[in-house]
Structure 1
Amino acid sequence: MAKINGEWTPPTSEALLFGQYVHAWLEGEQAFDEFKKNTPSLFTQKGQLYKQYQLADLMIEAIQHDDLCMFVLQGEKEVIVTAELFGVPWKGKLDVYNPAGGRFSDLKTARSLRERVWDPEIGYCSFVEAYGYIAQMALYAEI
């Protein structure tokens, strides 16, 4: 609520900006161009993308050349879904929603797919487990 009321601004990080960059690409060319235009911190004084965002471009290129990725990323982008679960209202934002195909997709960026992350409750695990993405996708599926 503090964020909605303008009383709190969530901290930003290079990793978060990296993910936002890739998500902006997912939304389409116009959104991607607008994101780059409105985010000068992506660029050096010479107007070149910083190296970490050049890496994001390589990630985007890999996705574009992967037929399976491009297939699962087909559908409506950034779709808000709501429902009442467990007596509580829930709201989520699906990165890609394809009701005709019976699926939704959520794009995640990660430093490494194989790196193990420490979680105090379950020990070493994947980033998917550590950051609650399994629960997030289960909730989205229910919604």
Structure 2
Amino acid sequence: MLIAKSNVKGGLPYAVFTKLFDALVSPITSMLHGAGIWGIRQYSEMNTVQNKAARYFLGVGRRAPNGSTKGDICWTSVFTKQRVEVTRLWCRLKNMATDRTPKHISKWSFRHHKSWENLTRKMLQDLDFTQLINNDTISRVKCHHNEVKEACIRADHVEWHNC
């Protein structure tokens, strides 16, 4: 309904469309609900939703390359947002009191090769955030989230240039 009305008026500005997508579409499709727990695996369904929205806004057909629409729309990828949420959960677990059950589970899972803990540790190593891995408690958590987000955005730009 909103989109139909906006089309009659000539469409929505970029900032409004982006805000509506982040506020209405992302929560409904649960694009980031529980993303910290999912780990660092990419899910094509979430990328499809974001790509369709970008194509709609840009007015290109469904056969337009994803790389070109990503470059034109300049949105942060779902995978980047997911990695930031994983980092947020990692920091919460690191700063959690040692008598809490999630902290015990986290320490237990470290012994398993393909656990969330080890995959997250590898992701942080790949992004060169060893200070988040080696410390038992993490100070300046908000600052680390921003640094991880910037590193993930840089990695997205490199991936975009490569495709």
TM-score, normalised by the number of residues in structure 2: 0.25
Q: Which has the larger radius of gyration?
A: 2
Q: Which one has the bigger strand percentage?
A: 1
Q: Which one has the bigger helix percentage?
A: 2
TM-score, normalised by the number of residues in structure 1: 0.27
